[in-house]
Amino acid sequence: MDHSETPLLDALADYHSLGRYGFTPPAHRQGRGVDKRVIDVLGREPFRDDVLASNGLDDRRSSGRFLARAEELMADAVGASDAFFSTCGSSLSVKAAMLAVAGGRGDLLLGRDSHKSVVAGLVFAGVQPRWISPQWDEERHLSHPPSPEQVAAAWRDYPDAAGALIVSPSPYGTCADLTGIAEVCHERGKPLIVDEAWGAHLPFHDQLPTWAMDAGADVCVVSVHKMGAGFEQGSVFHVQGDLVDRQRLSKCADLLMTTSPNVLVYAAMDGWRRQMVEFGNGLLGAALDLAAKTREAIDEIPDVEVLDAELLRRAGIPRPRSTAGPDRRVGYGMLWLPGGRLAARTHATRLGPVRSPSSPGDLVHRRRRRECRAFGRRVVALARVGRRTRATTGHSSAVAK
Ligand SMILES: Cc1ncc(COP(=O)(O)O)c(C=O)c1O
């Protein structure tokens, strides 16, 4: 397929170049009806591009196939059979997958570290959870995803469950042995759903952990806004094999989806796919190098420990697809952390008393005006693809200090 194509972006460009105007929602009329004080903050462009997806950008029957074509290109880019875009985050995609696999059919095997959206999906779809405990790491105060052995044991206890759902990467940046887990599920002819919300970038660099579809998962959900250059709420779910009925999945997603999807969210995902196919390897390689350098710098700060190669030594954590190249081995441990996540464990002495689980993050925010994620005594900063490497390094060292 021709990955220089961007059907949704091109349709939006045509919309503008033809000077089209809608007597339909959105009622702001491409920004004309918006209060100046709002424009002063948001600018006019977001409103200009916020046009109706159907019967606007495309006709009511979607005969322009802009969305369908963009989804085909996404699936082709990552090697999945099918891809579906959602503008309601992975929170929707994961619920759609759960509903399609287990809705009205009983039980689902689930990692106990599942995201809130999974729990909401259980309530909503009336599915009975059969929890699998993640592997709790006493020393580092974090959890690693369940192992294939744990999933096999859960299948022995609940052989009639409809499928399994595993979160990988975990919010701590640790990854499951998805190949092993997929094998265990498929031995019983059951589908594996992977909540890979934090792994949208994984297919685009061979020194990142294997992404779920390559590992044999049947459905995989990714948030493009988390690790890719998409707007908040941009999510894709991918499907392969014949264990999950595509039509049912698509209908479940349609049931849950908004009838007013945001074209900005769609178009940004379309453009991000083109960027990743054309430049992803180089951009992600640079992000990995940058993360490696930042890790080294952080490691020199007294009382701050960078979680790194030690995560590798844990049993059941998969290898990256490639370990080629001497330079890469320097940042080897880091490569396990999606997108070069820098998980620094803080000791109370340096940052002051830790009173609430979010204290390290609050401190970084208050003192340095940089936002990063904090779990208990851990701070996680994401090194992502960006054009201004020097600025990114500056921000990273501000977080480190
Ligand atoms: C593991 C996991 N799954 C699903 C979600 C939901 O993703 P979204 O914010 O795209 O709705 C999140 C969000 O943080 C997450 O961490």
Q: Could you read off the pLDDT of 13-33 as tens digits, one per residue?
A: 999 999 988 888 999 999 999
**370 — pLDDT class (breaks 50, 70, 90):** low
Atom of ligand 1 nearest to the CA of 233: 10
* pTM, two decimal places: 0.86
Per DSSP, the three-state class of 262 is coil
What region does 349 belong to: left with phi over 0, alpha with psi -120 to 50, or beta?
Answer: alpha
pLDDT of residue 105: 75
pLDDT at 125 over 70: yes
Residue-wise pLDDT for 169-197, tens only, equals: 887 777 888 999 999 999 999 999 999 99
Which amino acid belongs to residue 122? L
In whole angstroms, give the CA distance from residue 106 to residue 331.
Answer: 44
**pLDDT > 70 fraction of the chain, expressed in percent and rounded:** 76
Residue-wise pLDDT for 240-265, tens only, equals: 999 999 999 999 999 999 999 999 99
23 Cα–ligand 1 center, Å = 35
Pocket probe mutation, ligand 1, options 115, 167, 227, max atoms within 8 Å of Cβ: 115
170 Cα–ligand 1 center, Å = 10
Atom of ligand 1 nearest to the CA of 225: 10
Please give the average per-residue pLDDT across 127-153, as a whole number: 87
**44 — pLDDT class (breaks 50, 70, 90):** very high
- Asked if 85 contacts 231 with a C-beta cutoff of 8 angstroms, the reply is no
Q: What is the mean pLDDT of the chain?
A: 82
pLDDT of residue 355: 46
Residue ranges of the chain that CATH labels 3.40.640.10: 7-271
Please give the average per-residue pLDDT across 128-137, as a whole number: 89
Residue-wise pLDDT for 295-345, tens only, equals: 788 778 777 777 665 554 444 444 445 444 322 222 222 333 444 555 665
Atom of ligand 1 nearest to the CA of 171: 16
Please give the average per-residue pLDDT across 88-112, as a whole number: 93
DSSP code string of 116-149? HHHHHHHHHHTPEEEEE--EEETTTTEEEPPPHH
Atom of ligand 1 nearest to the CA of 94: 4
112 Cα–ligand 1 center, Å = 15
In whole angstroms, give the CA distance from residue 289 to residue 107.
Answer: 43
In whole angstroms, give the CA distance from residue 336 to residue 375.
Answer: 19
- Residues within a 6 A CB radius of ligand 1: 89-91, 94, 115, 117, 167, 171, 195, 197, 223, 235
pLDDT of residue 385: 65
203 Cα–ligand 1 center, Å = 18
197 Cα–ligand 1 center, Å = 5
pLDDT of residue 349: 37
Top mean pLDDT of 36-50, 172-186, 194-208, 286-300 is at 36-50
pLDDT of residue 310: 54
pLDDT at 346 over 50: yes
14 Cα–ligand 1 center, Å = 33
pLDDT of residue 222: 96
Pocket probe mutation, ligand 1, options 84, 110, 117, max atoms within 8 Å of Cβ: 117
Pocket probe mutation, ligand 1, options 84, 85, 87, 90, max atoms within 8 Å of Cβ: 90
Specify the CATH number of the domain 7-271.
3.40.640.10
Between 46 and 55, name the one with better pLDDT: 46
189 Cα–ligand 1 center, Å = 27
221 Cα–ligand 1 center, Å = 9
pLDDT of residue 71: 97
Per DSSP, the three-state class of 340 is coil
Pocket probe mutation, ligand 1, options 86, 87, 88, 91, max atoms within 8 Å of Cβ: 91
pLDDT of residue 315: 40
- Asked if 51 contacts 30 with a C-beta cutoff of 8 angstroms, the reply is yes
pLDDT of residue 308: 62
Task: Report residue 4: phi and psi, to 5°.
Answer: -80, -15
CA angle 312, 316, 320 (to 5 degrees): 55
Pocket probe mutation, ligand 1, options 223, 231, 236, max atoms within 8 Å of Cβ: 223
Neighbours of 163 (CB within 10 A): 25
pLDDT at 383 over 80: no
163 Cα–ligand 1 center, Å = 20
> What is the greatest pairwise CA distance in the chain?
62
pLDDT of residue 298: 78
pLDDT of residue 324: 41
pLDDT at 387 over 90: no
pLDDT of residue 169: 85
234 Cα–ligand 1 center, Å = 11
**206 — pLDDT class (breaks 50, 70, 90):** confident
Please give the average per-residue pLDDT across 106-113, as a whole number: 92
